[in-house]
Structure 1
Amino acid sequence: MSQATLHAHHRPLGSTGLMVSPLGLGTVKLGRDQGVKYPNGFQIPDDDEARMLLKLSRDLGINLIDTAPAYGRSEERLGPLLRGQRQAWVIVSKVGEEFVNGQSSHDFSAAHTRYSVERSLQRLETDFIDLVLVHSDGNDLAILNQCEVYATLEDLKREGKIRGFGLSGKTVEGGLKALESGDCAMVTYNLNEQAEKPVIDYAAAHGKAILVKKALASGHVCLSPGVDPVRASFELVFGHHGVASAIVGTINPLHLAHNVATVAQVLRNL
């Protein structure tokens, strides 16, 4: 049987004009192994392993890659690893959260937002980032209403340094507010947590983009015997037509291929 791929399943990322694979590769594990909530420990892959993972992703039809300054060395590793392939990838990064010496801190000021995006451009060795999301600390509405981060991202979009912006948030109110003037919301949506579904509904009605994080509940989901949790998760996620893509952070090539095959099957049956 030939390997299932997602090449035929690329879809619009809201109204950004970008086409993305329904699965995106999350890269926290390329850069950081402290303070991450996974059921099993892991080792950060070396450059050869990372290169093979990126090549496999491309071969499987994945063109969406998700990174962040808070993912340790992820961005600075991706720059050299993606050299010569910029056109092949839609890159999502973030602003607002820093991770230094095992500690997270947040800064949503105009100056830090601009500094952070310029630094991401340098690290990723690119002159534009496709999508930049505000890395919320959970105070979504306060960040959007009281901080300068969103207005600054709007300026950076006008300047051509980013193509779109939005919020990786934690609340329904924040997600809805973020989509009013932004392009995208990243929401948690899985078999355990569906509270942010109204944000996906709004996006579907208004031509906005939704990226799903924790689609597989970071590996924690429990189901009745005989039910494939990966398949059940993707049936839920892609059963909502407002979802553009689910970001899954695996560094295991077998898991990646299994996820792709499962998504391809689920999409064919929708």
Structure 2
Amino acid sequence: MAGCATGGGGKRGGVERRKFGATGMEVAVLGFGGAEIGYEQATPETVNQLLNAALDAGLNTIDTAECYRESEVLIGDAIAHRRRDFLLFTKCGHTAEAPAKGPDWTRDGVVKSVERSLARLRTDAVDLVLLHSCSLDELKKGECIAGLEDAKKQGKTRFIGYSGDGQAAKWAIESGRFDALETSINICDQQALNMTLPLARERNMGVIAKRPIANAVWRYDEKPTNAYHHEYFRRLQQLGYEFAAGDHRKELGPDGPAGIALRFTAMQPGVHVLIVGTTKPQRWSENAALLAAGPLDKKLYDSIRTRWFAIAGQDWVGQT
């Protein structure tokens, strides 16, 4: 059973809802990112609290992946009795059980990946399955796309998409074979704003913004230990945004760095849902309050874009 959120926008629980491209689905602009609960080994009790709090705050979209350790299992156990309350998105191609084997982008491998996700999520169908950052070469081979289309024809997913960045994302959009795109968009990662987002918007694709607050790297006084944060930390040092430097780093509310970063991503034309991961139930209402302040004023927004164009190097590509 898939989720049933459809409609034409508006607000529920204080969170804006947007039409997800041409799918007919209606998504809250804030979505639940499932990576953190997997990698941080959250307890079932914590995940239950998180999803209850998310629903109370007006969120209705969950984004996860098979390779996020036990994320799918935790989510499946938590929402099995209220599956229709959520739109459930997952990503395929990388296995959680045997990561040493690497991804499987064969036609049959993709279908089997989807089937494993359905079992782990305790559902007979999801609302969206995305190829999880396969390369441009794999996309061009076509087997992985054919596998995803097979899963759709078999009723295992309502819609299909591509999760990734740069030239691979551009090719995926232009192929016309996908309903949705998941890509990195934030104050430290703006390549998509010119390369792929306008194309996705022209084709009326649903767009999911991943890493929408640049991993909040302004929190760190020095290079973080987590390698996943290194590139954004390096970029932020060079971009030198005033709102994310010095004492401003500690400011809260919509005009602090988290509020500005979140609002920057949310106001991009063609973006429908921002995926944020957390293990803290109160984070949803806090983020909803940040977005309630609305888009950034033009002067601040333009300064962020201008700084990017002035500083970004050729190697500042979208971070997968």
Scaled by the length of structure 2, what TM-score is found?
A: 0.74
Matched, 1:66 2:59: no
- Give 1:106 shift: 1.3
- Give 1:111 shift: 1.2
- Relative distance call for 1:30 and 1:84 in structure 2 (3 A) is same
- Give 1:85 shift: 0.7
2:112 maps to 115
Matched, 1:216 2:213: yes
- Give 1:144 shift: 1.0
Equivalences for 1:218-233 in 2 at 5 Å? 218-221=215-218, 223-224=244-245, 225=248, 227-233=255-261
2:146 maps to 151
State the alpha-carbon separation in 2 of the partners of residues 269 and 178 from structure 1: 33
CA contact (8 A) 1:70 1:104 kept: no
Which of 171, 191, 197 lines up with 1:195 in the alignment? 191
State the alpha-carbon separation in 2 of the partners of residues 102 and 120 from structure 1: 15
State the alpha-carbon separation in 2 of the partners of residues 142 and 101 from structure 1: 23
- Give 1:13 shift: 1.1
State the alpha-carbon separation in 2 of the partners of residues 121 and 26 from structure 1: 17
1:106 maps to 103
- Relative distance call for 1:107 and 1:193 in structure 2 (3 A) is same
Which of 17, 29, 32 lines up with 1:25 in the alignment? 32
CA contact (8 A) 1:184 1:209 kept: yes
Which of 165, 168, 175 lines up with 2:160 in the alignment? 165
- Give 1:156 shift: 1.6
- Relative distance call for 1:6 and 1:151 in structure 2 (3 A) is farther
- Relative distance call for 1:234 and 1:186 in structure 2 (3 A) is same
Query: What does the per-residue CA deviation read over 1:87-126, in whole Å, with 9 as the maximum and x for residues that have no partner?
Result: 1100110111124477582111111111111111111111
Q: If you compute each CA radius of gyration, which structure gives the higher value, 1 or 2?
A: 2
State the alpha-carbon separation in 1 of the partners of residues 101 and 15 from structure 2: 39
The 3-state SS of whatever aligns with 1:164 is strand
2:23 maps to 16
State the alpha-carbon separation in 1 of the partners of residues 272 and 60 from structure 2: 13
State the alpha-carbon separation in 2 of the partners of residues 254 and 77 from structure 1: 19
CA contact (8 A) 1:231 1:266 kept: no
Query: What does the per-residue CA deviation read over 1:164-206, in whole Å, with 9 as the maximum and x for residues that have no partner?
Result: 11111121x2222222220111111111110122211112222
State the alpha-carbon separation in 2 of the partners of residues 152 and 123 from structure 1: 19
- Give 1:255 shift: 2.6
- Relative distance call for 1:78 and 1:27 in structure 2 (3 A) is same
Equivalences for 1:56-95 in 2 at 5 Å? 56-95=53-92
Aligned residues: 254
The 3-state SS of whatever aligns with 2:279 is coil
The 3-state SS of whatever aligns with 1:98 is coil
CA contact (8 A) 1:24 1:62 kept: yes
- Relative distance call for 1:203 and 1:170 in structure 2 (3 A) is closer
1:51 maps to 48
1:181 maps to 177
- Relative distance call for 1:170 and 1:8 in structure 2 (3 A) is closer
Higher helix share: 2
Amino acid in the other structure paired with 2:28: S
RMSD of Structure 2 on Structure 1 (CA): 2.2
Amino acid in the other structure paired with 2:188: N
Scaled by the length of structure 1, what TM-score is found?
A: 0.87
- Give 1:26 shift: 0.6
1:262 maps to 290
State the alpha-carbon separation in 2 of the partners of residues 235 and 8 from structure 1: 13
